[in-house]
Every structure is written in C-alpha cells, then in structure tokens.
C-alpha cells in the first residue's frame, strides 16, 4: 500500500533519517516505535510527502510518488494525523467535522458511522474545539481523517498523554478502522499499544531502523530488544 525505501532526510544541515525503510500492506497496522527525537514524526511526514527526501523513494500502490506534492498524496488517500491534532479551537466539534466533509470522497465513513465509532463526538457536537479533552481531540482528529476516505492513516502518537480508559477506547476504534480496510502506520514511544494493535513493528533510534519483525518475534525477544533500544 505504502512503502518508504532507503530514505535520507535532513532538518537544515542535520541528517535526521538514515536509510529508513518501512512499509504497510493494505489493511495492515504496523508500528514505528522510538524515543523522543528518534525520527518518528519525520518518517511519518516523509510518508505523507511533507518531508523532502535526499535519497530513497516513496511508493504508493506500486507507483513512485516521491516527487508528488503532499496534496496529491492526500488525494490518493494518504492521511497524516499530527501529534498536535490541529483541530480548529474556535469551531465546534460538528463544524470541525463538517469542514472535513468538504473533502469527503464518498467511501464508507459518513457522519452517522463516525458518530457510531466515536459516540463521544456526537455528545460533544456543539462544544468548541478548545474545550475538548486530549482524548476527544484525538478522536476528532482521526474522525476528520476518516471523512477524507483514507487508504492509509499515519497516526503520530495518538495515545500520548491519555488516560488508560481513553486509550482502550481508541485502541478499539483503531481496530474498527482497520477492519474497514484502512492501512495504519502507528507511531508510539512505548510498546504496549503497538503490541496490542500491530502485526509488525519497526524500532527507530537516531534516525535509523534498528529492529524490525513481527509482533510475535518482538514478544519472544522483548527483554533483549528493550535493552537494545534503551527502554
Ligand atoms: N523543524 C525542525 N528543525 C530542526 N530539527 C528538527 C525539526 N524537527 C525535528 N528536528 C530534529 O530531528 C530529529 C528527529 O525529530 P522527530 O522526527 O520529530 O522525532 P520524534 O518524532 O521521534 O520525536 C530530532 O533530533 C529533532 O530535534
Ligand atoms: Mg514526534
């Protein structure tokens, strides 16, 4: 579905990605795990066409999309949900969602289905964006992505800072989204949520993928791998 191959990327003169390769198959969830500053956000942005590559390429459904502008990748169904969630603080939940429906391309995710997935967003429909809890903001950010009928969702630390019960709700919702056939790249700093959701894992450190394997393989060697990457 989406493959970043041998990517090098820079912030100014500093190289922050070194030969990063990561791929997600149709309907699959993979995780990219690493500490603060490891290069997770830069990798996700590269996968969304938001970060120029100095080497390597980006392939979407087999087509080379390395040089396409981000809005073209968005139209191809690649949707990045940033850690900041970027909701409109002065608009209500309903208005935030309605703005996303302007880009709605048909597809499975209609407003009733969004409300079914996140009942909280219906209850909070009239509340302004800046009154939402962190969990509600994350739900809204994902919901807005779904309204664009994505093929791939790139989720940047969706559970960061959320209460355990809210994390459980989000994990359940992400499973429903996957069951609809959306491929997901999940970025997290810890192993717990990735191990619950993803079939394959990538560990990144200092801008390099230092380990990749299935979730079963990670579970088998978890202690050693945690030491390797200094968790
Ligand atoms: N806009 C930027 N300008 C300069 N350096 C940056 C910028 N964004 C990130 N970096 C640096 O790039 C590296 C990787 O950052 P990032 O991809 O955001 O890591 P992560 O998401 O894993 O925390 C870090 O060393 C960070 O300091
Ligand atoms: Mg980040």
- Could you give all domains of the chain from N- to C-terminal order, each with its CATH number? 2-228 (3.40.50.300)
Which numbered atom of ligand 1 lies nearest the CA of 38? 22
Q: SS3 breakdown of the chain: % helix, strand, coil, rounded to 5?
A: 35, 30, 35
Q: What is the pTM of this model?
A: 0.94
Q: What is the dihedral of CA 160, 70, 10, 20, to 10 degrees?
A: 70
The residues whose Cβ lies within 5 A of ligand 2, an ion, are 40-41
Q: Which residue has a Cα nearest atom 8 of ligand 1?
A: 11
Ligand nearest to the CA of 84: 2
In angstroms, what is the span from residue 82 Cα to ligand 1's centroid?
13
Give the model confidence (pLDDT) of 183-196 as tens digits.
999 999 999 999 99
Q: What is the pLDDT of residue 49?
A: 96
Ramachandran angles phi, psi of 202, nearest 5° = -125, 130
Ligand 1 contact via 37 beta carbon (within 6 Å): yes
CA 6/CA 54 separation, integer angstroms = 10
Give the model confidence (pLDDT) of 29-83 as tens digits.
999 999 999 999 999 999 999 999 999 999 999 999 999 999 999 999 999 999 8
Instruction: Indicate if the pLDDT at residue 151 is higher than 90.
Output: yes
Q: What is the dihedral of CA 64, 60, 199, 159, to 10 degrees?
A: 110
Which numbered atom of ligand 1 lies nearest the CA of 43? 17
CA 220/CA 150 separation, integer angstroms = 33
Q: What is the pLDDT of residue 104?
A: 60
Ligand nearest to the CA of 205: 1
In angstroms, what is the span from residue 48 Cα to ligand 2's centroid?
14
Ligand 1 contact via 11 beta carbon (within 6 Å): yes
DSSP code, position 86 = -
**Cα angle, residue 154 at apex, residues 148 and 158 outer, rounded to 5°:** 105
How far is the CA of 33 from the CAs of 2, 3, 39, 97, 220, in angstroms?
18, 17, 10, 29, 17
**Cα angle, residue 59 at apex, residues 53 and 63 outer, rounded to 5°:** 125
**Token pair 């070194």 is at which residue?**
18
Ligand 1 contact via 40 beta carbon (within 6 Å): yes
Give the model confidence (pLDDT) of 92-124 as tens digits.
999 999 888 776 666 788 889 999 999 999 999
Q: What is the pLDDT of residue 224?
A: 84
Contacts of 128 (CB under 8 A, 6+ apart): 89, 90, 91, 92
Ligand 1 contact via 62 beta carbon (within 6 Å): no
Ligand 1 contact via 33 beta carbon (within 6 Å): no
């Amino acid at each position: 579905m989406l493959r970043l191959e041998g990517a090098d990327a820079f912030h100014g003169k500093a190289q922050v990605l070194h030969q990063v390769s990561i791929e997600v198959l149709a309907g699959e969830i993979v995780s990219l795990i690493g500490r603060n500053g490891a290069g997770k956000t830069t990798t996700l942005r590269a996968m969304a066409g938001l970060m120029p590559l100095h080497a390597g390429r980006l392939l979407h459904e087999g087509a080379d999309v390395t040089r396409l502008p981000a809005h073209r990748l968005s139209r191809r169904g690649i949707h990045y949900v940033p850690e900041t969630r970027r909701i409109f603080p002065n608009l209500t939940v309903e208005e935030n969602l309605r703005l996303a429906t302007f880009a709605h391309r048909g597809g499975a995710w209609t407003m009733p289905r969004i409300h079914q997935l996140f009942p909280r967003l219906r209850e909070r429909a009239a509340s302004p964006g800046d009154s939402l809890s962190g969990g509600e903001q994350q739900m809204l950010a994902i919901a807005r992505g779904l309204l664009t009928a994505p093929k791939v969702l790139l989720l940047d630390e969706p559970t960061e800072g959320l209460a355990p019960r809210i994390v459980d709700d989000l994990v359940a919702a992400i499973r429903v989204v996957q069951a609809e056939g959306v491929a997901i790249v999940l970025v997290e700093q810890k192993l717990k949520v990735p191990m619950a959701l993803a079939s394959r894992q990538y560990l990144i450190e200092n801008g390099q993928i230092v380990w990749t394997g299935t979730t079963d393989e990670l579970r088998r060697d978890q202690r050693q791998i945690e030491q390797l990457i200094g968790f």
